[in-house]
Amino acid sequence: MTARLFEPVNLRGVTLRNRVVVPPMCQYSAEDGVAGDYHLVHYGRFALGGAGLVILEATAVVPEGRITHGDLGLWSEAHGEALARIARFLKAQGAAAGVQLGHAGRKASMQRPWYGNGPLGPEDLARGDAPWEIVAPSPVAMDEGWLVPAELTPAAMAALTGAFAAAAGRAERSGFDVIELHCAHGYLLHSFLSPLTNHRTDGYGGDRAGRMRLPLEIARALRAAWPADKPLFVRVSAVDGIEGGLTLDDTLAFARELEGIGVDVLDCSSGGLAGSATAARVRRDYGFQVGFAEAVKRETGIAAMAVGLIVDPAQAETIVAEGRADLVAVGREALADPNWALRGTGGYAAWPQQAGWWLERRAGDIERLGPWRG
């Protein structure tokens, strides 16, 4: 029933064992940007659970680009060394290892979600979480009571482009197979793309071409710094879902430019310009964002990844088999069941042998007894 979903797929010189991707989901549990044991175990379980590609959460290329004090970073070799053991483990278990590089922009200097998910304030100082200065394309705060960002200067944008390229080099030395550039959910590069948050009057604002300029410069720098045999993904918010904001036509134009640069996959999310990163502005239903991936795949030459309430392997198989997307991202469902991909294969042949042989022997008892009824 799910044969196509579990076929290997080649992206440049990287082969994914299947089309199931665990997408970036911030854990807010790093110390000074450095990954720890928690991250090794957290991400490792998805590789053991059969995913084809596991992409680490939003990883800041500069300290002030973090969303919270708990975000991962990749602005030094020490950060890369901590991430390298995660990449090694993922690959040893048969998954490809990815990392999402980003900058939070006007959504930086925030509380971790369980502390309120708002701007850092006096109550956070007791936890050692002091606010810092933030930047954006224009000095437009996310909402009343939030920090007003400083407008990025051309010199600062050039330095930031260099920071992304340097982080890509560290990711390569750490053994990652895939980089994803974060251009979604209201963070810095999304805020350049959207006319609602980019009010610049220089060459980095105004019309669509101006608003795309910095994201494209950074994508070009990443492609140059990243090995030619390794794929580059870009995550987008395909629409803002707010009057006057980004439209699907804007995203299709962006996708065509990215394809020309050498980007391999567009990861198609939506919303997040205002409010939380996952604040959808379109009706949530099963697979509610698949249409964006389908449009990108149909209208451009770039491969597309679908995400958003994809909860069942049969549902994911239909998306792939019908040609609506090339890859399927399973996020919160993977948090609920890290073995989601393995369960979709049926039987225990694909499971790690350390678990599979136990489960295979138990299966006969379960079949004999039938469902437990209490």
Cβ contact 93:339 at 8 Å: no
Q: What CA dihedral angle connects 260, 163, 12 and 351, to 10 degrees?
A: -140
CATH code of residue 115: 3.20.20.70
Catalytic positions: 187
Give the orientation angle of helix 37-48 with respect to helix 77-92, to 10 degrees: 30
Dist. CA 16–CA 56, nearest whole Å: 16
**Assigned domain for 309 exists:** yes
**Assigned domain for 353 exists:** no
What does the pLDDT profile of the chain (374 residues) look like in tens digits?
Answer: 468 999 999 999 999 999 999 999 999 999 999 999 999 999 999 999 999 999 999 999 999 999 999 999 999 999 999 999 999 999 999 999 999 999 999 999 999 999 999 999 889 999 999 999 999 999 999 999 999 999 999 999 999 999 999 999 999 999 999 999 999 999 999 999 999 999 999 999 999 999 999 999 999 999 999 999 999 999 999 999 999 999 999 999 999 999 999 999 999 999 999 876 665 566 789 999 999 999 999 999 999 999 999 999 999 999 999 999 999 999 999 999 999 999 999 889 999 999 999 999 999 999 999 989 88
Tokens of 352: 């790690």
**Assigned domain for 37 exists:** yes
Cβ contact 250:300 at 8 Å: no
**Assigned domain for 345 exists:** no
Cβ contact 85:54 at 8 Å: no
Q: Give this prediction's pTM.
A: 0.96
Dist. CA 346–CA 87, nearest whole Å: 27
Q: How far is CA 303 from CA 73, 216, 297, in A?
A: 28, 18, 6
**Assigned domain for 269 exists:** yes
Q: Check residue 374 and give its pLDDT.
A: 80
The whole domain housing 239 covers 9-338
Strand partners of residue 97: 54
> What's the domain count of the chain?
1
Instruction: State how far Cα 317 lies from the chain centre.
Output: 21
Q: Check residue 356 and give its pLDDT.
A: 94
Dist. CA 105–CA 161, nearest whole Å: 14
Question: Residue 61 in 3-state DSSP?
Answer: coil
Q: Check residue 1 and give its pLDDT.
A: 47
**Assigned domain for 363 exists:** no
**Assigned domain for 367 exists:** no
Cβ contact 189:214 at 8 Å: yes
**Assigned domain for 350 exists:** no
